[in-house]
Amino acid sequence: MKRAQVFRLSMAHPGDLSALEALISGGTVRAADVVAIIGKTEGNGGVNDFTRGYFTQTLMALLSAHLGKPASQLIREIPCILSGGTEGVMSPHYSVFCISEEASATRQYSSALAIGAAFAPVATKDVGRRAQVESVATAVRQAIANAGIVKLEDVHFVQVKCPCVTVARASAAIAAGTPPRTTDPNRSMAFARAAGAFGVALALDEIKADSFNDDSLLADFTIQSPRASISSGVEVESNEVIVLGNSPAWGGDLKIAHRPMTDALDIGGIVEVFADLGIVAAPQVSARDASRVACVLVKCEPDRRGEVRGHRHTMLDDTDINAQRHIRGAVAGLVAGVVGDGRIFVSGGAEHQGPDGGGLIAVIASQNRDIA
């Protein structure tokens, strides 16, 4: 029986993987069991955030040394999802997702955290178009199957990392007679995130195939998935998909839940996702229950319309601080206050990922109430 484990580890700087090294050296983690990493590094989260590359390089060198495979191969096999920017009370950390096969495992809970992954290539000409949406949807369905999840409602979080259009890729595509939707890299990242969210929504039957077209992306914000968490970057060439859900076929004590967040002040959604896992936040998760929490994943977005609940915010017009840094800091302050811990993944760029102006929260926690 497969068993999913999540190790949430702190880092002293973006090149510090010593905590994982210690777990591998000490025998707690088998390097071969590592299937994905989701982490928060202390950069700015923008185009010139090199903390993600630094971390990834260090991680792959570490795993390469233990697995005897070249880092250049591992980087295409193990999704490493990093969000730069630990604004405010966030603490730099990374969650290591592992799958182990335990022949002798005894089932303890009716269902447990299940993990599936899949990859799907996407051509530059397809970025931000229906072809990318369908490519993502196909990969999500495959990852769900890989995870052994039968019911779509048991899927709670789908992380997708999408390729975007770079200047070089755009030139090549134009030369080939297949121009991309946009040649602006930043714009293409937003389109790619939108396509990723549509793809997740399509795979999860949240939208129908005929309910949207290319013009809907970044325009019709009624279309969204509260289970889609999408990032986009120049460093990937395939859509990389990780599905997290619950399945009776898996062992272990972890379980995942999710909730949409209607806006940046939706403390209700935060409290409810903990309640879904049997954890009370009144107003804060107790220290005992907090020790059961393995991972907190949040997507958020500065409201495009310039207001939060009818009052003007200033995030979008700030030349000094990027709007995504503003919203991450604010939402992280709220979520960390409820859970009592700054080791939370809060990522911006949440177009079509949960309600417009809001986003989503997913939490993985142990079902074992005696662990603390």
Residues marked as catalytic: 161, 231
247-286 binders of a copy of itself (CB under 8 A): 264-268, 270-271, 281-284
Q: What are phi and psi of 333, to 5 degrees?
A: -60, -40
- Helices marked H in the chain — which ranges? 18-25, 51-67, 71-74, 130-147, 167-175, 185-203, 267-276, 287-290, 323-339
DSSP 244-269: EEEETT-BSSEEEEEEEESSTT-HHH
Q: Give yes or no for residue 218 binding a copy of itself (CB under 8 A).
A: no
Q: Give yes or no for residue 317 binding a copy of itself (CB under 8 A).
A: yes
Q: Give yes or no for residue 70 binding a copy of itself (CB under 8 A).
A: no
Q: Give yes or no for residue 42 binding a copy of itself (CB under 8 A).
A: yes
My answer on whether omega of the bond before 302 falls inside 30° of 0, hence cis, is: no
Around 13, how many Cα atoms within 13 Å sit in the side-chain half-sphere? 3
Q: Give yes or no for residue 82 binding a copy of itself (CB under 8 A).
A: no
Q: Which range binds a copy of itself by CB under 8 A, 223-231, 248-256, 328-336, 358-366?
A: 328-336
Q: Give yes or no for residue 65 binding a copy of itself (CB under 8 A).
A: no
Which of 33, 66, 91, 249: binder of a copy of itself (CB under 8 A)?
A: 91
Q: What angle do CA 124, 125, 127 make, to 5 degrees?
A: 65
- Kindly tell me which of 209 and 282 has the beta carbon lying closer to a copy of itself: 282
Q: Give yes or no for residue 53 binding a copy of itself (CB under 8 A).
A: yes
- Decide: 162 and 230 in contact? Cβ < 8 Å: yes
DSSP 52-108: HHHHHHHHHHHHHHHH-S-HHHHTTTS-EEEEE---TT---EEEEEEEEE-TTPPP-
Which of 148, 179, 248, 340: binder of a copy of itself (CB under 8 A)?
A: 340
Q: Which range binds a copy of itself by CB under 8 A, 110-118, 192-200, 203-211, 313-321?
A: 313-321
Q: Give yes or no for residue 299 binding a copy of itself (CB under 8 A).
A: no
| Interface ranges with a copy of itself (CB under 8 A) | 10, 12-15, 42-51, 53-54, 57-58, 61, 86-93, 167, 264-268, 270-271, 281-284, 306, 308-309, 311-315, 317-322, 325-327, 329-334, 336-338, 340-343
